Structure 1
Amino acid sequence: MTHSEPTPAPARSTRDRILDALEQLLLDAGPLHTTLDAVAAAAGVSKGGLLYHFPSKDALLAAMVRRLGERSDAQLAAAVAGGSSISEFYLQLIDTDEFEDHPLYQSAIASLRSVDGQDTEIQRAVTEVMRGWDDGLRKELADPVQAEIVRLAGDGLFLASLLGLPQPDPELHRRVVARLLGHD
């Protein structure tokens, strides 16, 4: 009988290492201390290597936001494949115990910290990602007012989790979702 070695995790690409370093710097130090030099050092690449993948800080930050969209799309697809609706996914309670170790939520916090309200590539990337979420709800729900109410409620649940605010009672949350989706 032979002993087999565990399969190593796939190596992260340089691009992902850079984006991971960017997110961690935004989470730990904030946007003022997140320079291209700091990101390159944290990712273990030269500044030239960073600029090869991302020609500007805006391009770097926009790529991080777009990765948030990719992570969200993947989680949504898995939830729908598991039997959830888009609306149920959007209105879920977030397990705050696992929150800090969850790549989607780390990406969300870092992305929110990167937006400064100016019309930049970063702001456009955030808008693209959020419009994608809106589109899914509008496709699923025939009533645009109901879709907007679900989006606003989901945004509030997500923001409450991001900020560590109290979560609603699980039974009350279940009843709210049932009413919003016409299952009551």
Structure 2
Amino acid sequence: MRRDELLDAAEDLLCDQGSTSLTLSAVADRAGVSKGGLLYHFGTKEALIKAMVERLIDDFDNLMAAQHDDTYTERYIGATLAALRSGRLRRWAVVTGASGNLYLLAPLREAMTRWHREELDEEPDRLASQIVRLACEGLWDVASHDPELNTESDLQALDARLRALAKPPA
């Protein structure tokens, strides 16, 4: 079984049953592999959680790279909305909730620092860009707890408004 399938099984288990259910045995059962098969890829529960966190970061970095907008903040808006539309944000909430260990969340803290500081000084309006990036974080947080809140029409309107806010005043 591939590593990503094991991570998918762990995330599904977290979504369905919560963080107290995340044991190596339960993940192996969910994935349909032996515990030894799981241990081959992830020797500890902490290694499994760390891999889930790292995959979330890579996933968002890939969404950022797929955007073709002019500014970093516009790419950040596009990547955030792509994550919202795909349902990927549910994974953020459950994975970060599963880790009570600051060491395991350190890569996420580092990524958040990078995402919120990247190219900020090159933006046409630094303060507006910072506000828009923080608004995207708010969208993430709310959507991770209430994924049905925004319709596609709502997301299109939010996209347009966030992009307009990121532009410098005339």
What TM-score do you get using the length of structure 2 for normalisation? 0.77
CA distance in 1, matches of 2:83, 2:64: 18
2:89 to 105, 113, 117: 105
* TM-score, length-scaled by structure 1: 0.72
Q: Residue 132 and residue 97 in structure 1: after superposition, are their counterparts in 2 closer, same or farther (change >3 A)?
A: closer
Deviation of the 1:180 alpha carbon: 2.9
| Residue identity in the other structure for 2:111 | V
CA distance in 1, matches of 2:42, 2:21: 18
Matched, 1:40 2:22: no
Report the count of equivalent residues: 165
Distance in structure 2 (CA, Å) of the matches to 1:85 and 1:161? 24
The residue type paired with residue 153 of structure 1 is: A
SS for the counterpart of 1:79 is: coil
Tell me the CA shift for residue 22 of structure 1.
Answer: 0.6
CA distance in 2, matches of 1:23, 1:169: 25
CA-CA distance at 1:49 after TM superposition: 2.0
Q: How does 1:1-184 map to 2 (within 5 A)?
A: 14-80=2-68, 83=69, 85-92=71-78, 94=81, 98-100=85-87, 104-116=88-100, 118-120=101-103, 122-138=104-120, 140-141=122-123, 145-164=127-146, 166-167=149-150, 170-171=156-157, 174-182=160-168
Larger Rg belongs to: 1
Question: Residue type of the partner of 1:55?
Answer: G
Deviation at 1:85, TM superposition (A): 3.5
Partners of 1:20 and 1:169 lie apart in 2 by 26
Does the 8 Å CA contact 2:90/2:145 hold for their aligned counterparts?
no
Runs of 5+ unmatched residues, structure 2 = none
In 2, Cα distance between equivalents of 1:78 and 1:95: 10
1:105-139 deviations in whole A, cap 9, x for unaligned?
A: 343233232232x423x221221332232243536
The alignment's C-alpha RMSD in Å is 3.0
Q: Which runs of 4+ in 1 moved over 6 A?
A: none
Distance 1:124 1:162 in 2: 20
What is the Cα deviation at residue 78 of structure 1?
1.0
Preserved contact between residue 125 and residue 167 of structure 2 (Cα < 8 Å) = no
